[in-house]
Structure 1
Amino acid sequence: MSQEYFDIYDADMKNIGTKLRSEVHKKGFWHKSFQCWFIGRDNGEEYILFQKRQFDKDTYPNLFDITAAGHLSAGETVEDACREIKEELGLDVKFQELIPIDIIKEQKAELDFIDNEFANVFLYFCSAPLEKFNLQQEEVTGLYKANLNDIVKLFNKELDFVNLNGFKINESGDKEKSCIKALIKDFVPHDFSYYDKVFKYAKELLQTV
């Protein structure tokens, strides 16, 4: 199996070289990621889509996360990284269809890794039903809709849980309808300011489409 390399940067996003992925996360080098949140409207209900990470992921296994995301490998552009949508979700989405939010500096530290990212964050208004998604089962184990107003209230601590509706991949590899009551601890721990910005822009975009 070939080893993956990332371009690395200083805190001002100036390129300072290339390192192995494992070394990047061990020593906390700054690197770039692509993140795309899918939003939509279903029978008047505004929603945002969360993927559920696989049980054996090396970081944040089995938690709810960004609809489609991934690191930029060495030499890749953000536009190249749009491939993550096709790879993880099985949908053909053009980079030009995405709505940029911002480049957000994210820092997360756990016992066995340090993740310092320049996250290139986008929104995508999706009209495709969940039946059209074909998940990369090595990475994603389910896809769920969250009512946008409810998820905002959850992260504002106005609700104890939210209902997520979607599907999971069962042991036979088939899609199975699923409804989950999710707590804050069930989501990847991005900073509150990160979630706040994403949800704010999602609401603004949904008012225009």
Structure 2
Amino acid sequence: MEFQAIAQSLVEAGGFLAAQGWAPATSGNYSARLADGTVAITASGRDKGQLTPDDIMVVDAAGKPLQTGQRSSAETLLHTSLYQAYPALGAVLHTHSIDGVSLSRWLLARGQASLVLTNYELLKAFPGITTHDREVEIPLVANSQDMVALSQGVLDRLAALSMPVGYIIAGHGLYSWGTTVAEARRTTEALEVLVSCALKAALLGPTSV
């Protein structure tokens, strides 16, 4: 029963994120931790706007499928490493928005290692934040097909932050999370909107503020 409920919540999150244009083609992947420490995650190559519970599979804490014949995303380790590092996390969502990908490449080309968000009212959508007058740092990491190195690099960057809410892989997309799928969905939506605001502010220049 727990898996069925979690699978349905991931299906609904996928439908919402895809409807915003944040999961083109078969991009993105979504997961949630189960009570026994295993992880429910989207199977590889699925259209995220057309997910059904049958598209959700289970992997162990190291990312190994628990049933033969199933294949999870190549990026499964980016999910499971977060669960191992942060026991309070209950769900991780990964999007591929046009604005997120574009802004990440723009920042990386300028030698910036992070996106710093401040003075946005929507920052209050993140857990523990009650005012717009805060700085939230979103680490930017270079893309890699070496998932072991990439996941360790991500964890190293996140460890320097007191309250990380997400990170961006340059030219790839955004990862964000929460204690539940619902919270992760809210955090992801807020972060995607803030990324769009940051991109538009960068394009408009200093007179936009």
Q: Give TM-score scaled by structure 1 length.
A: 0.27
Which structure's residues are more often strand, by fraction? 1
Question: TM-score by structure 2 length?
Answer: 0.27
